[in-house]
Copies of this chain bind each other. A is one copy, B any other.
Amino acid sequence: METLKLRKICIDTYRENVAYLHRDCPVYRSEGFQALSKIKIHKAGNGTPVIAVLNVVNDEALLARDELGLSEQAFAQLNLSPGTAVRVEHARPPASLKAVHRKIAGERLGLDEYRGITRDIRGNRYSKIEIAAFLVSCSESGMERDEVLYLARAMVETGKHLDWSEPLVVDKHCIGGIPGNRTSMLIVPIIAAHGMLIPKTSSRAITSPAGTADTMAVLAHVELSPDHLHKIVRRERACLAWGGKSQLAPVDDILISVERPLSLDSPGQMVASILSKKVAAGATHLLLDIPVGPTAKVRSRAAALRLRKLFEYTGDHMGLQLEVIITDGRQPIGRGIGPVLEARDVMQVLNNQPDAPADLREKALQLAGRILEFDPDVRGGQGYVIARDILDSGRALAKMEAIIKAQGKNPETAVPGRLQQPVLAGATGTITGIDNMQMAHIARLAGAPMDPGAGVDLHLKLGEQVEQGEPLYIIHAEFAADFRFANEAAAAASGYRIEAAGPTGEQG
């Protein structure tokens, strides 16, 4: 067998290993490889192999006939110098793929099978289409609740596990879907001011106009090394950081990289994803927020209850103390949608400003109250009052300022996007509907979260009266093209429903 010279191809194939061979490469011809087939690459002689999907190159400027190219991630995994002699051969499908085929056939899988699947995914032995096949086979009613537990456990096992050496490590999580819902940035300082440990890491926005990490980044650095983070948490009892660089349940990140473009969002995957991350992060107690509403992720109370049971069952068997709270998800929370506008709302609440959005404050207090009751010394029903006292007294603000300082204050002063356009009510009446998805869509088109100042600032919420021609919300953007897209989308559908005193509803 001939060897090939290793070459790095500076293409980011995003969590999929891709190998490049020239079509006239002697190895390609004699081995009978095919494009998209999987090959195994290892150092001539020995070495741990890397598995990659094959792309065929027809240009010697890109790749010589005696070279093997690897995309950035695959090159990093193989960890050899350019020019090293490597051998390639056909890769057998990963052993656990047989279990995926059984799952496709409708069978129920056991813990060891989920372990095999997560190990192979962790080892980059699955191609994107194999991951897609696994995810679809587990979607919707495809997973028994024991299987959700097995998958969650297996995902925890395939990564690092933090141990805070404390009996009470709390976390909170919202399943998402509600724009402006930045309660974590209020809850974390309240809980930490009470003295409980709450090392909160969050994601950046995937399909939404802002994740907690994006909004927190307006105020402070959020990309911190694990060591640095650990020190901050020890000192401040809390952090508000980006969780992306951790090695906690790394299989979850790989699965999400395929779920996202597929828009898959099955209950089983969601529960396994959330709980595996929390357990790996060392949480002992978790409060889960499930917003329900006609344009939320969960549309009915019945569906929310089913999801709650699944969270409870899985959490209990993973040794996590879990409380689920079903909240009002009929409209966005607060006024701002987009990092800068949301950070403004949060700081208004922390500063006890009279014009601070009341719904954001109220929801944060409700959730914080429930978390405080995880503390054995807090009497049942007293959590809310304690939370309110911490907020009203300014202790929450002081804690937030300490966290910002510890993580490193963002030196730039953030301002809402300079391009501004009000969207006006088309009729006079009562606001009876605000579409979460449409508001998120408009804010994203305006540039959020990439441009932190972009987004939507709501002037009116459900139940309020409006006169025709009065502004419903203001669109903010930084760039003209984004601004135009967002305005066009708002003109097509404002996202608001206005009902006149009479019986007819009208799209505002």
Contacts and interface: CB of A to CB of B under 8 A. Distances in A.
Interface of A: 1, 9-14, 20, 23, 29-30, 32, 34-38, 55-59, 62, 72, 93, 97, 101, 104-106, 127-133, 135-137, 139-141, 257-258, 261-264, 444, 447, 450, 479, 481-482
A35 B482 CA distance: 20
A400 to B, nearest CB: 28
Contact of A12 (B35, B38, B131, B450): B35
Copies of the chain in the assembly: 2
Contact of A104 (B58, B130, B139): B139
Nearest to A479: B30
Contacts of A62: 9-11, 62
B101 A263 contact: yes
A37 B450 CA distance: 15
Contact of A106 (B30, B129, B141, B257): B141
Contacts of A55: 11-14
Contacts of A264: 104, 133
26 contacts: A10-B57, A10-B58, A11-B56, A12-B23, A12-B57, A12-B58, A13-B55, A14-B34, A14-B55, A14-B56, A29-B450, A30-B450, A30-B479, A30-B482, A36-B257, A62-B62, A97-B263, A104-B139, A105-B140, A106-B140, A106-B141, A130-B262, A132-B132, A132-B136, A133-B133, A136-B136
A127 to B, nearest CB: 7
Residue of A129, A130, A257, A264 most packed against chain B (CB within 10 A): A129
Contacts of A10: 57-59, 62
A394 to B, nearest CB: 37
A122 to B, nearest CB: 19
Contacts of A20: 11
Contact of A263 (B93, B106, B128, B482): B93
B128 A11 contact: no
A56 B13 CA distance: 7
A214 B125 CA distance: 31
Contacts of A450: 29-30, 32
A294 to B, nearest CB: 18
Contacts of A12: 23, 35, 55-58
Given A12-B57, A105-B140, 12 more contacts: A9-B62, A10-B58, A11-B55, A12-B35, A13-B35, A14-B35, A30-B479, A38-B261, A58-B72, A129-B262, A130-B132, A130-B262
A446 to B, nearest CB: 11
Contacts of A9: 59, 62
Contacts of A101: 263
A9 B11 CA distance: 12
Contacts of A444: 32
B140 A11 contact: no
User: Could you say which of A32, A34, A131, A258 has the most chain B C-beta atoms within 10 Å of its C-beta?
Assistant: A32
B261 A136 contact: no
Complex A-B, nearest 8 residue pairs according to Cβ-Cβ distance, in ascending order:
A10-B59, A14-B35, A32-B450, A132-B132, A129-B132, A136-B136, A12-B56, A10-B58
